[in-house]
Amino acid sequence: MKITKICCIGAGYVGGPTMAVIAQKCPHIQVTVVDLNEQRIADWNDPNPENIPIYEPGLSEIVSEARGRNLFFSTDVDKAIDEAQMIFISVNTPTKTYGKGKGMAADLKFIELCARQIARVAKQNKIVVEKSTLPVRTAEAIKSILDNTGNGVQFQILSNPEFLAEGTAVTDLLNPDRILIGGDTTPEGQEAIQALVDVYANWVNIDKILTTNVWSSELSKLTANAFLAQRISSINAMSELCEKTGADVNEVARAIGMDSRIGPKFLKASVGFGGSCFQKDILNLVYIAKSYGLNEVADYWEQVIIMNDHQKRRFSNKIVQTLYNTVADKKITFLGWAFKKDTNDTRESAAIYVADDLINEQAKISVYDPKVSRNKMLSDLNYLETRIEAENSNALNVFDNAYEACKNSHAIAVLTEWDEFTTYDWKKIYDSMHKPAFVFDGRNILNGKELESIGFVYNGIGS
């Protein structure tokens, strides 16, 4: 089957960038991204490239090139489903906050709604592609819904998990380590797999396109994220031991990273990992293991989350203890709110939880982040439901300039590794602060010795 029309349900962090790159690399394919959120679609269609809803280096240029040619953003979901031969499902799959599996299992209500809408609208055979991160056997549930519509339409379900990292999503899409496609072993399933392989082959070397069965594909995504998160929690566990013994975690990481069996990636000690995938996917993996009675397996992976939560609490506790066991009415400046640099994604960002802890201690939080708005920061804090919204609003001040954010502060906490933070005139910042002036480098990106020579009391992670 030669694909000429693709629809993607979901215009978020995965659907928007992925479809933009497919449209750019496949000008012969009409790509339509649909979402019920009218404002989000309006933002994607905004002629000002700075206003698209997702910040990723290089994304606005790709969207500007393809939009209106063969890339379209729309709220008319039924029309896009009806016209497409291949439909990507790229909606949110958050961790359940209710019922069985609360706090661990993936909430699949949006996936089911998509499947039912496809079943209702489709009049011709379709290939349905899981792009959201999903638990094993989700394709089976989707297929059950689609195959029981009674209208005679045949569906093939493929798993095509994304392996994008915020901040490098465009690079990851243009030059992926691998493309993974899972499908049925039937002739029809293999034909559907080949149709998607042919789409990616427009720019990805065929050697990097792996095909498996659906179940292996779904589990591979959860496993990949679990392994990466495990490395972060492992080095963070060592960072606490380093602080107690006088070792330097950066030197330890460099030494073990030179072992070819280990390698240097994801060995950067920090205040903890965030983002939409790691915690959610590990909790999902824990839930799956428990559902099969594999309690030891579940406990093993759950410890990665426990260690990550501990690292965040340890960071906020260190701020309080260092500032003479009280931060009440003290101004603490956060440099960064996004969970990592080069993105405006704040999901599970360490900054949210550190801020929450410090506000509980009656601190005044000032924040500068080059890409995150005050409304988003307040929304993140309010979502925790720790206190009434007015209290969060009163405790949080947001600045569009780092120097103003740091003025008259008692301490600075670096919570995102934005490159610009290393270029500041730190002497100027020091002169504007209360003394003694403290820096808590939650990302280990600053030169501690240089800051100490200025007069700062410097606290890094694991040193």
Active site residues: 162, 221, 277
Which tokens sit at 27? Answer: 């000008």
Continuous segment of H or E residues that includes residue 335 = strand 331-335
Which tokens sit at 407? Answer: 């003025």
- Supply the angle between the helices 295-322 and 214-245 in degrees, to the nearest 10: 40
Instruction: Return the exposure string of 4-41: e unless at least 16 CB atoms fall within 10 Å of the residue's CB, then b.
Output: eebbbbbbbbbbbbbbbbbbbbbeebbbbbbbeeeebb
How far apart CA 46 and CA 53 sit, in angstroms, is: 10
Instruction: Determine contact, residues 366/333, Cβ cutoff 8 Å.
Output: yes
**CA separation, residue 395 to residues 35, 251, 313, 364 (Å):** 34, 38, 19, 5
According to DSSP, the residues that pair with 88 across neighbouring strands are 8, 129
Rg (CA), the chain: 24
Task: Give me the phi and psi of 180, to 5 degrees please.
Answer: -110, 125
List, as one string, the DSSP characters of 75-126. Answer: S-HHHHHHH-SEEEE----PBP-SSTTTTTSB--HHHHHHHHHHHHH--S-E
Continuous segment of H or E residues that includes residue 238 = helix 214-245
How far apart CA 200 and CA 452 sit, in angstroms, is: 51
Nearest to 406, CA basis, from 456, 450, 366: 366
- 113 CB contacts (<8 Å, ≥6 apart)? none
How far apart CA 398 and CA 194 sit, in angstroms, is: 50
Neighbours of 287 (CB within 10 A): 21
If you ran DSSP here, which 8-state letter would residue 67 be given?
B
- 51 CB contacts (<8 Å, ≥6 apart)? 43
Judged by DSSP in three states, 236 sits in helix
The sign of the dihedral angle between the CA atoms of 457, 232, 357, 405 is positive
Q: Is 96 left (phi over 0), alpha (psi -120 to 50) or beta?
A: beta
